[in-house]
Each structure stands twice: as C-alpha cells, then as structure tokens.
Amino acid sequence: MAQSWHDLLFAHWPIQPATLRAALPSGLELDTFEGRAWLGVVPFRMSGVRLRWSPPLPGLSAFPELNVRTYARIGDRPGVFFFSLDARSALAVAIARAWFHLPYFRARMSCVQEGESVRYAHARTDARAAGGALDVAYRPSGEVFLAGAGTLEHWLTERYCLYAAEPDGRVWRADIHHRPWPLQPAEATFERNTIARAQGFELPPAEPLLHFARRQDTLVWRPKRVL
C-alpha cells in the first residue's frame, strides 16, 4: 500500500522495560536504547491511502490516526510494535484489522492545522477496547534535521518494519519504506491524555520527548507471519 502521513507528533516516555516486556507476545523481543524502553503516543493524519497501483477511494483514503507503540525486534530486524491504533474511518479499521492483523479501533477524531500548530482531538468509541482520549495542541519549535545514526532520535523513528500479534499468539511482520524522517523539535500542550492508560500503561510524570514531522510518504508491504 501507499500512504502519506501528515503533521505527526512523536511523544515518547521512558517506561520500565519489565512493564513493556510483559505486554509483548511470546517470541518478540523488547528493543531498548542504552537499557531504556520507550512508549510512544503518535497522533497524525493520513492521506492517499490506497493499493499502490490504484487511485485513492473517497471516504477511505484520508483520516486521522492515533497509535500507542513501543519498539521490538526478532533477530536483526528492529521494528515498531503497536498496542493500539485508532482511526475515524470504520471501513479503514475493518480493513486494517483483517489485512494487517493490527489492533485498530474506531474513534471520534479531528486534526486541524492552525497556522504552524495542530489541534488534535480524539475519543475512542470502539467497544472492543477500553475507552481512552487524547486532546493535544502541538507545533514544531525548531529547524528540520535528519537524525544521525546512533542517536536516540534515529533509534525511535528510523524503523522499517512493523510487528502485529493476534490473540492466538501468531506474530506478523510488514516491511515499510520511506525516506529518512524530516524531524523537528516540538512543543505540546496535553489537555487530556488517557490513551496509554487505556492500554494498561501509566505514563511517568516526566515531560515527554517531543518531535514533529510535517509529512512522510510511505510504502507498506503485505504482512508475513514470522512466529
């Protein structure tokens, strides 16, 4: 599939490795940076979602999304593991759950650009998961940069596969391709942020590590079972 991601906020908190390790499926190894594990809350909006050689479909190709994620690997393949993904489109949720084996849920969502800032409002409505919400205003606060190899920013963002697990323990991997992330430092004001708690995680009181990206064009391949 091809898709474009817009106005991303990467908000990351350090979490005890044992907490995140216990939440991963068997066979998937928690990835850490200098001994620390990280939980990400990432709001953004998508456009141009389509099969690579087909046109975007009205009502399905553009919508806000929110994910709660950590970082995991199998062997030498570091990737992203999603605890939840929320989207406004019920059809997109159904297709993503069936096609990518991902824990997608329906939610009321809006993502509005106000000058350089983005105002994001979310409330989960899907009965298959605990309710959670995110209301946040965010903006870039510095110049665009490409994260250098070996840095935390590079470790958090430059990942080229995702892992998904089904309730029966099967694990799938899908490869992802995109250019290096055009990151900017960011600032954010959280009015409500209970989406991580809905997945069973308490965020620490420390301020999160924040990064912004205006746009990223991506290709995502069909997942393959790896466990």
| Helix (H) / strand (E) containing 206 | none
121-141 per-position pLDDT tens digit: 999 999 999 999 999 999 999
Which among 188, 189, 187, 183 is positioned nearest to 143, based on CA atoms? 183
pTM, whole model, 2 decimals? 0.95
91-117 per-position pLDDT tens digit: 889 988 988 899 999 999 999 999 999
| Cβ-Cβ contacts under 8 Å for 17 (sequence gap 6 or more) | 30, 32, 35, 36, 37
Domains and CATH numbers, the chain: 2-225 (2.40.400.10)
30-39 per-position pLDDT tens digit: 999 999 999 9
Helix and strand numbers, DSSP H then E, in the chain: 4, 13
Sign of CA dihedral 106, 37, 149, 211: positive
